[in-house]
Amino acid sequence: MEPDEREVLCAPAKLRDTHGLLTLTNRRLLFTRTSGLISKKGFTILDLPLSTIKDVWVDHSFTRSRVVFVAQGEGGSGEPRTEIEVHLPDKWCSMISSQISKRNAEIEKGGI
């Protein structure tokens, strides 16, 4: 993380068929997974600056709820829609939206 970056929310999650850790900071959304029994290594699968997330919502289906977001522009995943299963998806959706608003206000003030 960058010196002025701080963790806002972190929880176990599932992206497609991969289990890992979803982390929201005041600057980006990350999905990482670890592998290895003895020597654990972390791999970042998704690293999205908040400025690239154009929309976020919760998709409630019969079997599970997912946080869904659309990312575009530089730093985007290249996929128009990404779904992540996480506990308390409504809270995640609200916190992501809140951090996007705060980040956009910082950028407008020139405090990138």
pLDDT at 111 (0 to 100): 61
pLDDT tens readout for residues 12-39 = 999 989 999 999 999 999 999 987 777 6
Boundaries of every domain in the chain: 7-109
Asked whether 23 and 12 are in contact (CB, 8 A), the reply is no
Tell me which architecture the domain covering 7-109 has in CATH.
Answer: Roll (2.30)
C-beta pairs of 71-79 under 8 Å, 24+ apart in sequence: 75/47, 75/48, 75/49, 75/51, 76/48, 76/52, 77/46, 77/48
Would the pTM count as exceeding 0.85? no
